[in-house]
Structure 1
Amino acid sequence: MGILKPERIGLDDFADQPVSICGKSFLAHKSGALYWPAERALIVADLHLEKGSAFAAHGQMLPPYDTRETLMKLAAMIDHYNPETVIALGDSLHDPDGAARMDQSDVESLHMLQEDRDWIWITGNHDPKIDRMLAGYVLPEIVVEGIALRHEPRPGTVTHEIAGHFHPAARLVMRGTSLRRPCFVGNGLRLVMPAFGAYTGGLNILDLAFEPLFGLDGLAVWMLGHEGLYPVAPRLLRDD
């Protein structure tokens, strides 16, 4: 009789994790994107396109490739999930003039990504207006199947919400080694997404800014890694 061996687990098995929000099923990806299979919708938050050029204008020189890197990352997610709709949850541009600074090749790349699908820009505090040259629909927020998609989470015990804005990050300390990475954070009723952009920092989810949103009851955290997306027990979290 042959010996039954466990199926080999590949790194791709950890690329995304199932996430439930008010009974709706999503897939959170290690890139920071969120896919909604029932709606064939890809959701991203806080692209902050042209952050590098904005900093350069104020004398802080950063490599001017953040927009291209972010669009390439987004293209990979579109290729992976083939969504019918892409929804960007605000702060897609680092400032209202960001579109005017975009290289023409980057604008053309964006338009290619938009072909044959709906594209929705949710406005944020960094981009209250979206230039028409970026095409797509522009809305302050949108409700899909009872789930509100907006940039900034509403304060208090709100449910049925997916938002960005805070750039959540988690920090662990294990065996004397500290690890700090962007993360998804939720409680089954609402979700705050990590920033998707190349030049974006993160706010520790133990910061007081998150307390009005979740407290610590039923908190669920998924930490972005280079090889996968990993659930983290809240008891392991450490502040900065």
Structure 2
Amino acid sequence: MNAALPDKRQIAASFSRAAASYDSVAALQRSVGAELLRCLPPTLRPARWLDLGCGTGFFSGVLADRYPQAEGLALDIAEGMLRHAREAGHADAYIGGDAERLPLRGSSVDLVFSSLALQWCGDFSSVLAQAERVLRPGGLFAFSSLCAGTLQELRDSWRAVDGYAHVNRFRAYEQYERLCQGGGLRFLTLKQQPEVLYFPDLRQLTHELKALGAHNLNPGRPGGLTGRARIRALIEAYESYRQHQGLPATYQVVYGLLGKD
């Protein structure tokens, strides 16, 4: 899995550049984060929460409203995102850091909330080990991520054009399942749920991916400009998926809840 993901510095730089445009095209991110919030038990009362991969800080604000008595920590690997989140001011502390090596003391938080960030981590077992380490007994790790099958329409359309990796790769749902069930945290729930967005044309989809900072970051991706003939071939291939709502882009979303005894 590590070889399929880009270097962390590339990820941080890409999302830092996208900080100003991210919120304008983050409808999916809002929807997925809201669904993850609905998964949280209503009896949960954390004294301190961590928004892991906080991005622009939108869900830090939601967590602050939901748990007004709690202390909030917002962490992201992308400094540009963290600056944006800091300006919003929803958390008590803003931390630059990596989910695979959290710069936090052990047993220091009651809720680790992470929505659509962990798909960029090559070593998910390290993410789970870090969440277990920083959670207090009785704490909860709630996450959403992306798995294999995401943007399959775009991937298959590119496959009809050339043999390069044009679409980000993500780990299989079964791998999430195996790692979550085999780690040190107590397995509570895990589910896969597709989310489909529709676009009037391919240009709008690729513009949104770039504005999110989530365009092609694969190692081995083609360099330089994409020729007009290849773009025409890609558009023609993608048009075969068109529905009355527009061109579909399917995201395979994983939602997980794990507890610490």
TM-score of the superposed pair, with normalisation by structure 1: 0.33
- Which structure has greater strand proportion? 1
Bigger helix fraction: 2
TM-score scaled by length of structure 2: 0.31
Tell me: higher relative CO, structure 1 or 2? Use CA pairs within 8 A at least 6 residues apart: 2
